[in-house]
Structure 1
Amino acid sequence: MLFLSKIKRVYAMNHVDLNLMRTFVLLYETGSVTQTAERLYVTQPSVSYALARLRDLFEDRLFVRTRQGMEPTIAARQLYPSLRDALQQFQDTIESSRDFDPATCTRRFRLALTDLGEMALLPTLMRHLHEQAPQAELEVVPLEIEHAEEWLAAGRVNALICSRPLTSAAIARHVLFRDRYVCLLNPERFGGGPLTRERFIAARHVAVTSSSGHGMVEEVMRQHGIQRKVSLEIPHFSVLPKVLHDSDLVAIMPLQVAASFTEGSPLTIHELPFQVPEFEVALHWQAHASRSPSQRWFCEGIIEAIGEREG
């Protein structure tokens, strides 16, 4: 009740600067004075001054500096949902009252992608968005699938593209395309012939960490009691062509990108020696954010761009 009364007191004060709310929300989401200053296009001392005003206003430290960054206090954690929602509602109301024109949009949009998404989709997305909104900015955030729903809820990203379904009712989803998993290897090192289950199990494998969201094959193998020898584990798919070119390792990856890796190289694609369902690659965004014309344009632009690419 104490913090609720403080929030009401803030809303009742006509002279409260909305930039204070923006500073609080961004500082909470980024945990960094530097990143908050960059996002607000102000200096770090300006953020520190705003934080001092917030501390006086709410009579609490709000954030404590640690090695990991600016850690929110209990009071800040209680305040954040209300201030975030109020700020978002205000921004949506202001924006919805205007005629949105992509040609004059200068907003920075944040999109979370895996490295596979960057390689396969980013050139198409950039070309499409730049044609419609040449002054808009796009910031690509490396996707950490375990934090995906949290990032959308906190507004850290405007949208994300991944193959793992997100279950929150507050998240909207649009399927961009379907794909399937295959094996990629260098037959000059691995040896010719079909990739049987026996050869698959006996082979040395390179695995990409599950933070990318591509964990379906591992789940299927566990269900069938298939164990493989993982000789190398890496965080990104993008280095696989060089790794496979000079080794007898086998990699499992989506077909669309595997096909691009075979261009001009000795690498070849083989079907998995067991059944794995196809998967959907989808765009996800916070459902309530669709009230914002610029957010709606951003998501619709991605859907349109990928649709043209797939067509």
Structure 2
Amino acid sequence: MPSNDPSLKELDLNLLEVLDALLREQSVTRAAEALGMTQSAVSHSLSRLRVFFDDGLFVKSAQGMVGTRKAELLRQPVVDIMATVRQHILTEAGFHPARSRRAFVFAMTDVGELVFLPPLLTELRKEAPHCTVRTVQVPIEQIEGLLASGEVDLALGSIRSAPEGLYRQRLFLNTFVTVISARNMSVGCTLSLEQFQRMPQVVVSLEGKLGTAYDRLVEEQGLERNVFLTTPHFLVVPLLLERHPDLIATVPKELANAFSKYGTLRIVKPPIELPQFALSQHWHPRFHSDPAVSWLRALVKRTFEHYREPDGLSVP
């Protein structure tokens, strides 16, 4: 039996989509970018939402827009509704990349942006010229929730401790190499074990502390490194080595290749055998059959096929 409640006529799906973006981004500007809308259109939708809910919904603070109590109460229901719409309604309409204006969201680190984004954006702009891309860097423990809600479409990179419930497809294998300043004349074409242990090192750890597979392997071999700086940011490495030529760093090979193109760094083989690791794409089972996410996964896979690594798909 149809409802006569006039309020349902005033709340359309577009308003819920805007509220979802505002709750997530806490900024009219960022919400507009995520939705592919103008700031004035988002502001107008927010005004309608405030009238509908008879509440300010957001207040300004030093950290940006902060949700009111009512907005926070609405957060989970809105996330659930939008996830249901994306999974069960939009999927039936299909996905047409050439016409779509969807904003795709990737979770990746700064090294992921350097390695993945340039070739991926080239292909995406060819096939889906009106779609936009946004990247986010989030703690590993938040990735599953963001993928489950649809706030993130794919997580790209080497996520060694990713939740087992996620789908995972290997894109290619990578390994570690050591980089030194091009101005460092104390190291020739090879790096000796004595130099590797003695020279001050920059160590990259996303958690800000030692403990990666690479670090554990070094420790297992009984090697002591002269760790001078530990940082969570890969992209600071070239600048540090350029300004301090006595420093060295051991980083993923694809990242080192990108760094070396600028002529300020040289790549040398580490004096110890280091493990390979897989760079993969991860997604949530809720969106396994979503046409847009399926198309995006295929695009990502095709983009990196030149590495000629066999597929590896693990199912929950």
TM above 0.5? yes
User: Does structure 1 residue 292 correspond to structure 2 residue 286?
Assistant: no
Shift of 1:216: 3.0
1:100 is aligned to: 95
Counterparts in 2 of 1:265 and 1:49: CA distance versus 1, 3 Å: closer
Q: 1:143 aligns with which of 137, 147, 154?
A: 137
Shift of 1:161: 0.8
Counterparts in 2 of 1:97 and 1:206: CA distance versus 1, 3 Å: same
Q: 2:227 aligns with which of 221, 225, 230?
A: 230
Counterparts in 2 of 1:226 and 1:310: CA distance versus 1, 3 Å: same
Give CA-to-partner distance per residue, 1:57-77, whole Å, 9 cap, x none. xxx665454322333456544
Q: 1:83 aligns with which of 74, 78, 85?
A: 78
Give CA-to-partner distance per residue, 1:120-161, whole Å, 9 cap, x none. 33232122222322332223x253444433443443332121
1:171 is aligned to: 166
Q: Mean alpha-carbon deviation: is it higher for 32-41 or for 173-182?
A: 32-41
Q: 2:215 aligns with which of 214, 218, 237?
A: 218
What is the alpha-carbon distance in structure 2 between the residues aligned to residue 240 and residue 221 of structure 1? 20
What is the alpha-carbon distance in structure 2 between the residues aligned to residue 170 and residue 47 of structure 1? 36
Shift of 1:282: 0.8
1:26 is aligned to: 21
2:196 is aligned to: 200
With normalisation by structure 2, the TM-score equals 0.77
With normalisation by structure 1, the TM-score equals 0.78
- SS of the residue aligned with 2:185? helix
Give CA-to-partner distance per residue, 1:214-243, whole Å, 9 cap, x none. 933234445666553333455543453454
Counterparts in 2 of 1:70 and 1:227: CA distance versus 1, 3 Å: farther
Shift of 1:37: 3.6
What is the alpha-carbon distance in structure 1 between the residues aligned to residue 43 and residue 128 of structure 2? 32
**Which residue type is aligned with residue 279 of structure 1?**
F
What is the alpha-carbon distance in structure 2 between the residues aligned to residue 66 and residue 237 of structure 1? 31
What is the alpha-carbon distance in structure 2 between the residues aligned to residue 205 and residue 74 of structure 1? 48
Give CA-to-partner distance per residue, 1:258-298, whole Å, 9 cap, x none. 2444455661312253x543211111123212332112111
Counterparts in 2 of 1:279 and 1:85: CA distance versus 1, 3 Å: same
Counterparts in 2 of 1:54 and 1:25: CA distance versus 1, 3 Å: farther
Q: Mean alpha-carbon deviation: is it higher for 251-260 or for 12-21?
A: 12-21
**Which residue type is aligned with residue 228 of structure 2?**
S
| 8 A contact 1:20–1:54 mirrored in 2 | no
Determine what percentage of the aligned residue pairs are the same residue.
27
| 8 A contact 2:148–2:286 mirrored in 1 | no
User: Does structure 1 residue 250 correspond to structure 2 residue 248?
Assistant: yes
| 8 A contact 1:33–1:47 mirrored in 2 | no
- SS of the residue aligned with 1:284? strand
Counterparts in 2 of 1:51 and 1:272: CA distance versus 1, 3 Å: farther
Shift of 1:45: 3.2
1:7 is aligned to: none
2:313 is aligned to: none
What is the alpha-carbon distance in structure 1 between the residues aligned to residue 308 and residue 138 of structure 2? 25
What is the alpha-carbon distance in structure 1 between the residues aligned to residue 53 and residue 43 of structure 2? 15
What is the alpha-carbon distance in structure 2 between the residues aligned to residue 260 and residue 225 of structure 1? 31
Give CA-to-partner distance per residue, 1:160-204, whole Å, 9 cap, x none. 211123533553221111111221224743434754444323211
Unaligned 5+ runs, structure 2: 310-316
Unaligned 5+ runs, structure 1: 1-9
